[in-house]
Amino acid sequence: MTLKSFLKRTLLLAFLSVGILCHQPGFAQDNERYFNADQLLKEQKYEEAAKQFEQLYNKEPQRYLYLNKLIESLINLKKYKKAITILEEAVQDGRHRPQAKIQLGEIYHTSGNIERGIQIWNDILKNYPDNQQVYLNVARKASDRREYDKAIDIYKELQSFSGQSNLISSELGETYMQAGNYEKAMREFLELVQENPKQLSYVQRWLMRFRDDHIYDVAILEISDFLDELSPSHPSYNNLQQLEIWLLMERKLFKRAVATAKNIEQESSNLTYSLYNIGSKLLAEQKFELAGEAYSYYIDNNVASLANRSREELANVYMQWAQYLENHNLDLNSTPSSLYQKAFSTLNTLRTNAPNYHRMDKVLTTLSELSLDVLHAPDKVEKFLSELQNLSGGEQKKSRQAYLEGRLHLYDEEYTRARVSFSKSNKQERIGNLAEKNRYYLALTDFFAGDYEFAKIQLNALERQTTSYYANDAVQLRLWIQKGLQADSTGSKIEPFAKLIEHLSRGEQQQSIATLEQLFQKDRQNPLIGYALLELTTKKKKQNAAFIYRALTTHLETQGDNTALREQLLWVKTRMADQLITNSNINIGQLQLTDKQTQILGDNNLEIPQTVDQLLSLYEKLLLQFPNGFYATFARDRIQELEEIQV
């Protein structure tokens, strides 16, 4: 390279560098002005935004971004004529011809000249017959202006020459939806899934976004018809079936969901888990019978991989069903007891038939709890505890073992040994369901032992676990302690009540009734009597029904409106009357008080109602006093049922 050539190249590079450096400040300045103008547009300061965008556009007319923002600002100012003039000039000058002309049609349409706007769009489509992007942009603008039929025609024409595509089909489906043609929208989406199975998640997300009952109903019908036409071997077939079940569950058509899931399992050559997957959802919706039916399918059909787990889940359904009936006092027969028995029998069958079941430690724990809480048979627990010890396992097995030992000691009133066992288990299992059980039973042990302040300390950690199953029990236990100590700081008010609860926990109802009799006789103003009555109503036996009902009536009459429990006590009293009147197996005339109970309660107009009319009066009284109370809906529903029975 000669010296002359080198000097020329060096000078050229220097010139270019200077040019670039000189341009950069201007470029940065324009960017800053654009962002400032855009911020003004977002703040709805359209006049100022329009001025700045117009300056930017005049400086660089080749940048469509500036033109687009300028037109948007002018439209918001309703300066349609100026916007039209600017766009027509852009079209005539050949700048941004398709985009500008599409916008021009939109402005004519917006300003009221609808025919002119549509004509401009038609001209664009004729001028760009094979341009997919132009067709899409025109269709989108037509849809934005609610010209849904026009947009649909454009999408269909686009499909005719460019073929099916995910983008076109999805936008066409959404346009059908905006037009209110839900059937065609759903059909378009389903055809999209048929062509591309991966798009099913998009369809489900789209449905979830709308959350519309009518749309869901249409989707259910369309999917059902579509599946009739679709080959079962199609990759989307099973997933569409699951989507149908999901929609049925969302619409709370639970029976149809179960029937559909059952048909899917029966017709499929492979396990689909359809019924199993909705079992927990049905349980969460408190559809206990249907949840039981879902799990029973795998047991009845001896599905090897799911039968054992389904037995465990079925037992859980029975237990939650029983607890629901007890907690809400909704049962008119002895159903809770029979449900607990079913749970025990189901788990015991699992224990016998599948000794190597991988969750046997949990099964044995639940069997032990049922043995203590329902059957009141501690000897069975010792047997289950022995089997638990023989299982292989590490710390978790040891923590369950210590927990069950604590439960046995508590049942036998060996409070010190119970504390040691629960504490040992708690150290080994610091988080989770078992840890929460340990903390609750540690507090309950202190409560039964009379160490009320220690019980409150044990409850602190558990109450912070707001999602814990035992959190409500912890709050209830603390409430009992607080009420008792407020009345007498020595704990003398709590002691007989705690003994009553302990008797109930061991199934010793007659002893608990005797304790309640003493409270009525010696300490009728005890603030825990109402809570004692509530606990007794959940575990009442036929021979004690008359006393409990009349004790409720007496307590409500003597306490008046002073008790915060009044609504709940009125509810359980009314439910007891309902049970006694509507249960054909109960002869009210045979329900009598003992002489001692009559002496304690008196015999002042406390007879149990014997007719449906009298029962209706009790429900109406509840509604009059608590029209918006927790039990108001239940009461109204029951009144309607009773009136239908009378008719």
The predicted structure's pLDDT at residue 207: 87
The alpha-helical segments, DSSP class H, found in 523-565 are 529-538, 545-559
pLDDT band, very low/low/confident/very high, at 339 (cuts 50, 70, 90):
very high
The predicted structure's pLDDT at residue 23: 47
The predicted structure's pLDDT at residue 559: 74
Q: How far apart are CA 72 and CA 553, in angstroms?
A: 74
* Opening angle at CA 430, ends 481 and 347, nearest 5: 85
The predicted structure's pLDDT at residue 225: 93
Dihedral angle over CA of 84, 87, 88, 94, nearest 10: 180
* Opening angle at CA 319, ends 313 and 325, nearest 5: 135
Of the listed ranges 158-167, 180-189, 283-292, the one predicted with least confidence: 158-167
Residue 242, pLDDT > 60, answer yes
Q: How far apart are CA 563 and CA 525, in angstroms?
A: 11
Distance from CA of residue 620 to its chain's centroid? 33
Q: Name which of 486, 426, 410, 490 is nearest 458 in CA terms.
A: 426
The predicted structure's pLDDT at residue 321: 93
Q: What is the pLDDT of residues 5-33, one digit of tens each?
A: 544 555 444 444 444 444 444 445 667 88
Q: How far apart are CA 180 and CA 503, in angstroms?
A: 64
Of the listed ranges 46-50, 75-79, 470-474, the one predicted with least confidence: 470-474
Q: What is the pLDDT of residues 346-363, one digit of tens each?
A: 999 999 999 999 999 999
Q: What is the pLDDT of residues 499-536, one digit of tens each?
A: 999 999 998 988 999 999 898 888 888 989 999 999 98
Which residue type sits at 141? Answer: K
Residue 613, pLDDT > 60, answer yes
Q: Tell me if 341 is assigned to some domain.
A: no
Higher-pLDDT residue of 10, 469: 469
Which residue type sits at 165? Answer: S
Q: What is the pLDDT of residues 90-135, one digit of tens each?
A: 888 776 678 888 888 888 898 889 999 999 999 989 988 888 999 9
- DSSP per-residue codes, 234-268: STTHHHHHHHHHHHHHHTT-HHHHHHHHHHHHHH-
Q: How far apart are CA 497 and CA 93, in angstroms?
A: 94
Is the C-alpha dihedral spanning 604, 605, 610, 612 positive or negative?
Answer: negative
* Opening angle at CA 270, ends 264 and 275, nearest 5: 40
Average pLDDT over residues 75-92: 86
Residues 142, 151 contacting (CB under 8 angstroms): yes
Residues 139, 154 contacting (CB under 8 angstroms): yes
Place of tokens 């710390």: 395
Q: How far apart are CA 168 and CA 183, in angstroms?
A: 18
Average pLDDT over residues 223-231: 91
High-pLDDT (> 70) share of the chain, %: 89
Q: What residues make up the domain containing 558?
A: 536-646
Average pLDDT over residues 211-233: 91
Q: Name which of 506, 444, 518 is nearest 481 in CA terms.
A: 444
Q: How far apart are CA 614 and CA 636, in angstroms?
A: 15
Q: Tell me if 395 is assigned to some domain.
A: no
Average pLDDT over residues 243-247: 93
The predicted structure's pLDDT at residue 288: 96
Which residue type sits at 530? Answer: G
H/E/C letters for each residue in 108-160? HHHHCCHHHHHHHHHHHHHHCCCCHHHHHHHHHHHHHCCCHHHHHHHHHHHHH
Q: Name which of 147, 226, 145 is nearest 185 in CA terms.
A: 226
Average pLDDT over residues 70-78: 87
Q: Tell me if 572 is assigned to some domain.
A: yes
pLDDT band, very low/low/confident/very high, at 472 (cuts 50, 70, 90):
confident
Q: Tell me if 642 is assigned to some domain.
A: yes
Q: Tell me if 490 is assigned to some domain.
A: no
Q: Name which of 560, 516, 554 is nearest 535 in CA terms.
A: 516
pLDDT band, very low/low/confident/very high, at 211 (cuts 50, 70, 90):
confident
Q: Which two tokens stand for residue 379?
A: 């000897």
Residues 543, 513 contacting (CB under 8 angstroms): no
Q: Tell me if 632 is assigned to some domain.
A: yes
Calculate the alpha carbon distances from 296 to 11, 321, 363, 519 in Å.
89, 15, 18, 47
Q: What is the pLDDT of residues 546-602, one digit of tens each?
A: 888 888 888 888 876 656 689 989 998 998 888 888 776 666 655 667 767 777 777
For the whole model, what pTM was predicted? 0.78
Residue 289 in 3-state DSSP? helix
Q: What is the pLDDT of residues 25-62, one digit of tens each?
A: 444 566 788 888 888 888 889 899 889 888 888 888 88
Query: Cβ–Cβ contacts within 10 Å for residue 616, how many?
Result: 16
Average pLDDT over residues 144-149: 93
The predicted structure's pLDDT at residue 562: 56
Residue 332, burial from CB neighbour count under 10 angstroms (0-12, 13-18, 19+): middle
Q: How far apart are CA 216 and CA 161, in angstroms?
A: 32
Q: How far apart are CA 118 and CA 121, in angstroms?
A: 5
Residue 397, pLDDT > 90, answer no
Cβ neighbours of residue 273 under 8 Å, at least 6 residues apart?
A: 306
Which residue type sits at 294? Answer: A
Of the listed ranges 132-141, 158-167, 295-304, 450-459, the one predicted with least confidence: 158-167
Which residue type sits at 26? Answer: G
- DSSP per-residue codes, 569-620: HHHHHHHHHHHHHH-TT--GGG----HHHHHHH--SS-PPP-SHHHHHHHHH
pLDDT band, very low/low/confident/very high, at 214 (cuts 50, 70, 90):
very high
Q: How far apart are CA 556 and CA 570, in angstroms?
A: 8
Q: What is the pLDDT of residues 496-507, one digit of tens each?
A: 999 999 999 998
The mean of the pLDDT values for the chain is 86
The predicted structure's pLDDT at residue 7: 46
Residues 390, 360 contacting (CB under 8 angstroms): no
Domains of the chain: total = 1
Return the top range by mean pLDDT from 10-14, 126-130, 174-178, 425-429. 174-178
Residues 450, 491 contacting (CB under 8 angstroms): yes
Residues 615, 577 contacting (CB under 8 angstroms): yes
SS3 content of the chain, % helix, strand, coil (to 5): 80, 0, 20
Q: Name which of 550, 561, 551, 489 is nearest 518 in CA terms.
A: 551
Place of tokens 């004729």: 126
High-pLDDT (> 90) share of the chain, %: 43
Distance from CA of residue 130 to its chain's centroid? 49
Residues 306, 276 contacting (CB under 8 angstroms): yes
Calculate the alpha carbon distances from 252 to 249, 285, 316, 531 in Å.
5, 9, 22, 36
Q: What is the pLDDT of residues 562-575, one digit of tens each?
A: 566 899 899 989 98
Q: Which two tokens stand for residue 603?
A: 């015999």
Q: Which two tokens stand for residue 26?
A: 């201007």
